[in-house]
Amino acid sequence: EYLQRYRSEHQVSRIWGSRERIVVGLTGGPEGRTLIRRAVRLAEKGAGGEVMAVYVARSDGLTSASPKELALQRTLV
């Protein structure tokens, strides 16, 4: 209903295409590489899906990410 109202209010008559976006949250641990690969496989199954990754830092400071691992994950993404 919201979308229909928006289209009406903004005089949008044409329906636009959409595509899937997958966001992966990374902590800098080695499991990130597995998560990235899994996200890419999911995106490939869809119609031109896109994979994005975000680094999630813990606020308590108990763990820190490996800069080397994050660099590898950045390259993989």
The ranges assigned to domains in the chain are 18-76
**Is the CA virtual torsion 42, 47, 53, 59 positive or negative?**
negative
Residue type, 3: L
Read off the pTM: 0.69
Query: Could you report the per-residue pLDDT of 12-49, keeping only the tens digit for each?
Result: 888 877 778 899 999 888 899 999 999 999 888 876 68
Cβ distance 32 to 26 under 8 Å?
A: yes
Query: Could you report the per-residue pLDDT of 51-66, keeping only the tens digit for each?
Result: 999 998 877 766 678 8
